[in-house]
Structure 1
């Protein structure tokens, strides 16, 4: 078993050159893997992400083989998919399968 507290993980800031995209994130699964004596790579990645008000995390994009799951801990926002733009808020879970464009 591996265990880590979120506060023990350094926060990384990613900002696009013109600051349209900005995200603060902590790589939870990477830090847990570092504790694994066998250095096994889990079949998923978990990050804690904070989006600043009015910012986007990444451009509209699609993954060929990766699933993404979002869970909203606080605040409100919008998610864009092929079917349009949806409002999201605290407690919402959003899953984007491979091949589904999202932002």
Structure 2
């Protein structure tokens, strides 16, 4: 068994060039030894767990869907909204929600305080992502590639 304390895991920061998207992540599964690039399911782990901290006034990432991946979210603290195919819903501490493959989603912090969320994903191999707002696809193997007829930057068409 391997044990970690989430409070002792360093935050990893992601921000878009224009500032519309951003989050800090405590990658719990990676701290427990997950190798996200491995195709060996023992090394890869069957699921991925992280704590995301989304600053006020930004979305965690562009609106997207996964071809194979399921994602479970549980709000730890803070308030915001989750955008989905039918619109958006307010979220608050204690809320939990699930996105199946091909269900577009996005977390948005429209409050004045940080939004903290547990994210658990089932981590399939051969996963792709679609970004409806910009018409892009992300292909994840072995390098992370974004395409729309030609290679693109991750935030192209999003800000």
Same fold (TM over 0.5): yes
Superposition RMSD in Å? 1.2
In the aligned structure 2, how far is the partner of 1:51 from the partner of 1:13?
Answer: 10
In the aligned structure 2, how far is the partner of 1:53 from the partner of 1:94?
Answer: 21
In the aligned structure 2, how far is the partner of 1:32 from the partner of 1:87?
Answer: 32
- Identify the residue that residue 62 of structure 1 maps to in structure 2: 65
Cα deviation code 1:25-56 (max 9, x no counterpart): 0110011126xxxx632111001100011111
Superposed, 1:13-92 pairs within 5 Å as 13-33=13-33, 40-92=43-95
Gaps (5+ residues) in structure 1? none
Secondary structure of 2:62's counterpart equals: coil
In the aligned structure 2, how far is the partner of 1:2 from the partner of 1:84?
Answer: 40
Residues matched between the structures, number: 99
Q: What's the CA shift for 1:7? A: 2.1
Secondary structure of 1:43's counterpart equals: coil
Cα deviation code 1:57-81 (max 9, x no counterpart): 0111010011111110111110011
Secondary structure of 2:2's counterpart equals: coil
Gaps (5+ residues) in structure 2? 35-41, 107-159
Bigger proportion of residues as strand: 2
Task: Return the TM-score normalized by structure 2.
Answer: 0.60
- Identify the residue that residue 97 of structure 1 maps to in structure 2: 100
Task: Return the TM-score normalized by structure 1.
Answer: 0.91
Where does structure 1 differ by over 3 angstroms across 4 or more consecutive aligned residues?
none
